[in-house]
A = this chain, B = another copy of it.
Amino acid sequence: MQSSDDDTDQTYGYFDDQNYEYVITTPYTPTPWINYLGSNEFYGIISNTAGGYCFDRDPKFRRLTRYRYNSVPLDSGGRYFYIRDENDFWSATGRPATTQLDQYSCRHGMGYSRFNASKNGIATQVTSFIPLDTKAEIHSLVVTNHTQSTKSIDVFSFIEWCLWNAEDDGANFQRNLSTAEVEIEGSTLYHKTEYRERRNHYGFYSVNRQLDGYDTNRESFLGPYRGFDRPEVVEKGQANNSFARGWSPIASHHLKLELAPGESQSLEFVLGYIEVSVDHKWHSKNVINKQPAKDMLTRFDSHEKVMDELGKLNRYWRTLLCKFSVETPDDKFNRAINIWNQYQNMVTFNLSRSASFYESGIGRGIGFRDSNQDTIGFVHMVPEKVRARILDLSSTQKFDGSAYHQYQPLTKKGNANIGGNFNDDPMWLVLSTTNYIKETGDFSILQEMVIYDGQEQATHDHFDHLLRAFMHVINNLGPHGLPLIGRADWNDCLNLNCFSDDPNESFQTTQVGASDVAESVMIAGQFVLYGQEFVDLCQQVGKIELANRSMKHIEKMRKTIEQHAWDGEWYLRAYDSRGKKIGSHKNSEGKIFIESQGFCAMAGIGLNDGKVEQALRSVDKHLATDFGIMLNQPAYSQYDKYLGEISSYPPGYKENAGIFCHNNPWIIIAETMLGHGEKAFEYYRKITPTYLQNRQTLLKTEPYVYCQMIAGKDAANPGEGKNSWLTGTAAWSYYAATQYILGIRPVYQGLSIAPCVLPSWKLIRVQREFRGAQYSIEIHNPHGLSSGKITLSIDGQPVEGNVISSSSFNGQHTVIATMV
């Protein structure tokens, strides 16, 4: 066990690997530390005190419950349970009631969260999850009387309904305060706002026990001008049985529990979403058809049934996660790879960049660039979903090879407001597709017929989309022969053609002036790297002529980069709209950038003449900090309209010299390509959350997932994190760790083994499911190497080279790889 010495400061929580959980020990974390519920279409975000909301498919258009972003108090709105014992009351999830608990913990697990609290000898446990294939949150509450006497306890549940469209819900009050409608039947509180008109869906909140009261009107439940911390109804101990008409509808159940000494009672709460076909909307005039809700409720009407569903969910996650597991001498590495990084990868698949503590759920659609990259983090777990996602992305490509920058998940159409011309976008489709084929061996994706944007009927196959992506770069070269940057490349904030001086303009979508001058070295490197992948793919499918023709473009680009994009000690970042260098020692600020070093190095440009080695040394010298590698240095101290948003941020934040974690793995991969196992690992552990437990207070964000950005050295608090969870960092870190540090890398022929690890790692065990076979791999490192040659045996038989050829195997196999 290495690096356990890092774990001494666990102010707010710790890992429980046995249960695949992170245990949070106080309601008062530096920011709300969230988890995600749901695995398909229906999702919830839930904080360590049950704050958050749930939605069906789209957090903007189908939001069930109301949440207040950046609110006071922080983290306002959630699934609350108030426990009242005589005149004392508290929250079973630690907040919003402010009563100090005798015990509190929140355990964020894989797709569920569990809240334990106790006070006055009354213990509660809330288990929150979304069962498989179910459009409902389950909140299972168990109350136990640990005292010596019988206890009369009041339980009040609480959620607040969102009027479906989350953006309108927070703006259009002149309408919304007049529209709310509910129905109440038995123990189920139904929310049917707008159902009488164009909606064919409603929500409900139910519990499997007869009610002692209820409330559906918020002000009635809370009392005048009160917060969630002390609802009037809870304070007085009796529901008002309020019936919401307009204003703000809520759902609150009141239940009286009589508990003998030692007795436990359980209550199963179901917060569900129902769609009904137009023909079956109504039971009778203005009375909704409740049958589908009742049908759903029968699945969760006992504690046993609910726990059974939780068991299914646990097995689902274990099955996903065990497709790739590792046992190295470093527990933190194992924990990252086996549990949290894979989990975060799946969340980025489900949520893209839509809903987190930092993404308000009313902003972005599915990003073309983001989602293509994300696939490299979970293709081994859900290859069939990746295949569908890639084809969705492909279908928003335009006929000239460019792509819509985002598409809307409900319509799967490109988002016209945002448009295209982010010139790195197309080549990411080559990465996702080739990586998918290498994982699965499924070349048939290339023959799928896929529309181009605006087409009704597909006229070309997916391979053609890749070709047009490739040619889009070649067809859009600038004065030096480098790719034109367009609105922006991977760095959304380097806006060389915007020239904005209006603070209400979006840097990304406002485009003024010439766009045929500014060039991106990052796209150039990306083109060489993924262009080579395209060539390899052509060769795999027998398109030798096309491969050769394409190779010439790549060679030419490689030479162009060497000629025009080398600054002496590192690669330039770009040429601006006036043809001036960016990321050069000649600049006074922004002398060096990480992105072009990463991509030119990964592409091996200048590998033979020492340029890669030199570029990486420069990264280490100028950009590396204790908290990760910064994006650029020196930070821009002033706004420059020729650079755009990057220079709008205060120094040290975001793209202006922040540690933008997404790109750190590019350097890690490049270091492994040079065989620098220790350097690669050093960079890896600086940003990987399992190593950051002693930094919980500084980091502020959840110490079990990557965040997009850590403040750089120019910031007020270097090391402070922001924008956790939904970041490409997750996929890239996983990709770097598994395919380049561990070196377990799918190739067209099979699985290659090429580790680049710490010399101290003498034995690594890997379990890997791959193309229908199950491999138990042992990597032996008897000489304490970082990298080098591999000798391989499969099921005891020596094998030439370092590739496990997939064509030969099914079933279970033992692989011994020895570093020599």
Interface residues of A, Cβ cutoff 8 Å to B: 27-28, 30, 61, 68-77, 95, 160, 164-165, 170-175, 177-179, 181, 194, 196-199, 218-219, 222, 224-229, 243, 245-246, 248, 285-286, 357-360, 362-363, 500-505, 637-639, 641, 647-650, 653-654, 658, 708-709, 715-717, 722-723
Contacts and interface: CB of A to CB of B under 8 A. Distances in A.
Contact of A362 (B95, B171, B286): B171
A170 B170 contact: yes
Contacts of A95: 225
A173 B709 CA distance: 13
A640 to B, nearest CB: 9
Contact of A227 (B73, B197, B503, B648): B73
Given A229-B227, A245-B715, A174 B503 contact: no
A359 B228 contact: no
A163 to B, nearest CB: 10
Contacts of A164: 503
Given A503-B164, A504-B165, A723 B174 contact: yes
Contact of A174 (B61, B197, B358, B717): B358
A226 to B, nearest CB: 6
Contacts of A650: 178-179, 181, 196, 245-246
Nearest to A200: B503
Contacts of A229: 227
A640 B638 CA distance: 57
B648 A198 contact: yes
Given A198-B648, A359-B173, A72 B61 contact: no
A501 B198 contact: yes
A173 B358 contact: yes
A505 B715 CA distance: 44
7 contacts: A69-B173, A164-B503, A171-B362, A172-B360, A173-B359, A198-B639, A245-B715
A198 B286 contact: no
Contacts of A248: 70
Contacts of A709: 178
Q: Which 9 A-B pairs have the closest CB atoms?
A: A197-B639, A245-B716, A197-B648, A178-B653, A198-B503, A28-B224, A174-B358, A173-B358, A73-B227
A172 B178 CA distance: 28
Nearest to A172: B363
B246 A199 contact: no
B177 A722 contact: yes
A218 to B, nearest CB: 7
A504 B170 CA distance: 15
Given A225-B27, A360-B171, A245 B717 contact: yes
A245 B194 CA distance: 43
A178 B654 contact: yes
B69 A170 contact: yes
A202 to B, nearest CB: 12
Contacts of A358: 173-174, 177
B179 A649 contact: yes
A225 to B, nearest CB: 5
Contact of A72 (B30, B74, B222, B504): B222
A503 B165 contact: yes
Contacts of A69: 170-171, 173
Given A227-B229, A639-B198, A647-B197, A218 B502 contact: no
A417 to B, nearest CB: 11
A503 B199 contact: yes
Contacts of A72: 68, 76-77, 160, 218, 222, 226-228
A27 B639 CA distance: 46
A391 to B, nearest CB: 25
A647 B246 CA distance: 15
Contacts of A224: 28, 30, 74
B70 A173 contact: yes
A230 to B, nearest CB: 9
Nearest to A222: B72
Given A177-B358, A648-B197, A285 B228 contact: no
Contacts of A68: 68, 71-72
Nearest to A173: B358
Residue from A171, A181, A199 with most neighbouring chain B CB atoms (10 Å): A171
B73 A225 contact: yes
Given A74-B225, A360-B173, A61 B285 contact: no
A246 B723 CA distance: 13
A426 to B, nearest CB: 25
A70 B179 CA distance: 15
Considering residues A181, A227, A359, A501, which has the most beta carbons from chain B within 10 angstroms of its beta carbon? Answer: A227
Contacts of A27: 225
Given A178-B650, A178-B653, A199-B503, 11 more contacts: A69-B170, A70-B170, A164-B503, A173-B359, A177-B358, A178-B658, A179-B650, A198-B641, A245-B715, A245-B716, A246-B650
A358 B717 CA distance: 39
Given A95-B225, A639-B196, A653-B178, A363 B503 contact: no
Nearest to A708: B174
A238 to B, nearest CB: 20
Contacts of A165: 503-504
Contacts of A172: 360, 363
Nearest to A639: B197
A666 to B, nearest CB: 21
Contacts of A359: 173-174
A505 B198 CA distance: 10
Nearest to A723: B174
A225 B654 contact: no
A632 B403 CA distance: 51
A764 to B, nearest CB: 36
Contacts of A716: 243, 245-246
A492 to B, nearest CB: 10
A218 B648 CA distance: 23
Contacts of A648: 179, 194, 196-198
Contacts of A722: 174, 177-178, 246
Contact of A504 (B61, B222, B245): B61
Most buried by B among A500, A649, A709: A649
A575 B612 CA distance: 76
Most B Cβ at <10 Å: residue of A164, A286, A358, A716: A358
Nearest to A171: B360
Nearest to A504: B61
A419 to B, nearest CB: 17
A30 to B, nearest CB: 8
A503 B653 contact: no
A486 B502 CA distance: 35
